[in-house]
Every structure is written in structure tokens, then in C-alpha cells.
Structure 1
């Protein structure tokens, strides 16, 4: 057998298990397979979390009765939600509105002392815009009575106030329809609003599409 035949035979020789190239190749294949399995199992992992059975307003107690359990894929965002495994905090109330079927974020729960806004009822006799629903933002304007049995020029009292609830109302004699808005008011604005109501000021609301407050 000549030199060329010896070289060809060496090339065709079955690799040995002791060949480092073969060992490295096997390790790379195993690592790739393990990575794919881990990725697929992580993507398919679901977490049981709480969601609102119906809309939950600010200040409302959070209990098992007003929540449902649902399984979702949260991934790295799991820490931001209340899970069934962690359980519900005791004596928790909503400090932000939680819409129907919405997952319950941890930041939306607190205690009564943490509430910086409180619901106040406003009776409005004017027609409201269709956008004036729970969760929407409105500007509340107030016109104080003047000395001629009229009203002074309206001024903006509550910019971007959040509506907590909307209900139908009526006058004392039931002859006229009114709407009662529950709006969330912070303590700093409370005296001016309650004073306006005590003076029988005319209250009007305007939908604020920007949603912010000044």
C-alpha cells in the first residue's frame, strides 16, 4: 500500500470516542437540545392570577367574591400581578380603578389610609357627553351664585377628575332628570368643592380627552 492509500485510509477511519472533536460536537448538540426544551417549557408556562369579576372602584374592598381566577402567560411580568400562589393581601382596597376582567396589578391595591382621593357625589342637570363613564376624566366647572339671583362666570375647579360611578337621579319632586357623578377628589380640592355645593353653585362637567390634571 502506497503513501496515498495510507492517507485515504486514515481519512476514512471511523472516529474514536476519545477523539476530542467528536466529544465537543456531542456536547454542543446536547446543549442546543437542552436550550430548546427549556425555551419551549418556559413559553408554555402559565400562572394563575386574579382578575376583576366586575369593575372595581377606588376604595372598594378586594375580596374573593369580586375576583375570578384565570391562567395566563406572564413571563417576566409575573411579579407585577397578584397571583393565586401568593394569595390576596388582607384588608386590601383598590387605590386605582380596575376594569372588568382586568388582571389585578399589585400597584392597584393598598389600605384605606393610602387613598389620596375620595369619591364625592356631584348632581348635574345638564346632558353629559357620551364619554362620561366610569374611569373617564372630566373637568369640573363651578359657577357661584351672584347677588342678582344669577351665577358668576364659571371657573375650573377640578381639572381631569376621574369618574368613579355614574347613576341616574331626579329632583326632589321627581319632575326633572339629573345625573349623579361620583368623582374622585383629593383632600386639597375638597374644601372648595364642598363649599360650592353648600352655596348651591351650578356645577358643569366637560369631558377631558387628554385625561390629565393640571
Structure 2
């Protein structure tokens, strides 16, 4: 027998569809592909939710034109956020500040009579610290006029008050531009602040990096 001759027993056979090993291999490939498809599908499960088109201040009314619809993956926490599926309730106002492009928590809005803080305009003559922006916390100090045409020792009136808004005030002749700071004040604190303003107290705002006061 020549070297080039191959015996019948050594010949390679084409695989048959009846070969159990081939069937098992096909099933494993299909299972693998199916698992990948399921994983990708689960990871791509998104839902529509609302974000704030612009910053929404405490006390501001909630309306659909102030919101954007976005696709997000909320998963199990979807129930805690406002979504187009549930709609925009009527007559609600913000009870906490919502920043621009932030998701809108359901607990951030309530009835107007349920507000425990109200914005009050405070005029400040000194330059504000750079950190004193909407949403940050500041301490509000007041110094009442004394009998010598000066001011008494400053006292801390509002510790850790939240800023709702900051806007430039008017410029008096020969004086620097003032700043109007809208601070959120509780009903219990309101009389002292309004009394200080009525008595033309000098009001100063100090950034409070520690957050809310006691």
C-alpha cells in the first residue's frame, strides 16, 4: 500500500445532525446568545421622567411648562419621582428647591398652605461670598441702631437659612450696589426678622458651610 493511501478506518467523516455532540454545541450557542440578549434588554429598560427646565424655587407653582421629559433608568425608585405616566398634579407648589435639569421628587411639592418656610427679601449692602447662591445656606446677622447714631453688637437671627434667590438691588447715589437675598424663613422666625427690618437694622449674610442651623 502506498504512502498516499488512506485506510477506510482513518477517513474523516462529515458531522451529522444526529451527532449528539453537535446538537449540544448548537444548544449552548443559542443559550449564550439568548442570555446576552436578555441582559442587554434588561440594562436598556428606561422610563420617562420629569426634570426641571429651570431651577424651581420654594413656593413656586408646579406647571408642566416648567418641566422636561427625559428617558432614564429609575428601576425600583421610579415611584419616588414625578413621571409623565402619573401626570402633573394641579395646585401644587415647591416645598424644596429643585435645581435645573434635576429629576423631580414627588416629595418636593405640596399644597401652598403646607409650606413651613416663606421667602423674605433681605437687602445686603456688603459683597456676598461667592458661595452664597440659590440653594446654599447662610447665617443672617442683624445689628439694631443704637442711641449714638451707630449700631449695636450684631446678633445671629437666622442660623442656616436657605437662599431661594439672589438678585442685584438698586444703586443709591454715591454708594455701592446692594444685593437682594431671598431667604426662606419659618413662621416662628418671621416676627424677629420683620421687626429688625422695620427698625432699620443693618443686616449681614455669612455663608454657612455646615448647612442647616439648629
| TM-score interval (norm. to shorter) | 0.7 to 0.9
CA distance 1:70–1:170, shift in 2 (3 Å): same
1:207 corresponding residue in structure 2: 207
Per the TM alignment, residue 64 of structure 1 is displaced from its structure 2 partner at its CA by 1.1
Deviations 1:52-81 (A, max 9, x none): 000000010111111110010111111110
2:106 corresponding residue in structure 1: 106
Residues of 1 paired with 2:62 and 2:140: CA distance?
29
2:46 corresponding residue in structure 1: 46
Deviations 1:121-142 (A, max 9, x none): 0000011101111111000001
What TM-score results when the alignment is normalised by the length of structure 1? Answer: 0.81
Matches within 5 A, 1:60-139: 60-139=60-139
What TM-score results when the alignment is normalised by the length of structure 2? Answer: 0.81
Deviations 1:20-57 (A, max 9, x none): xxxxxx9xx97x98876655433211110110000000
Aligned length: 189
Residues of 2 paired with 1:174 and 1:48: CA distance?
54
Secondary structure of 2:78's match? helix
2:158 corresponding residue in structure 1: 158
CA distance 1:174–1:98, shift in 2 (3 Å): farther
Deviant stretches of 4+, over 3 Å: 32-40, 171-176
Stretches of structure 2 that go unaligned for 5 or more consecutive residues are 1-18, 21-26
Stretches of structure 1 that go unaligned for 5 or more consecutive residues are 1-13, 16-25
Per the TM alignment, residue 92 of structure 1 is displaced from its structure 2 partner at its CA by 1.3
Secondary structure of 2:65's match? helix
Residues of 2 paired with 1:139 and 1:88: CA distance?
35
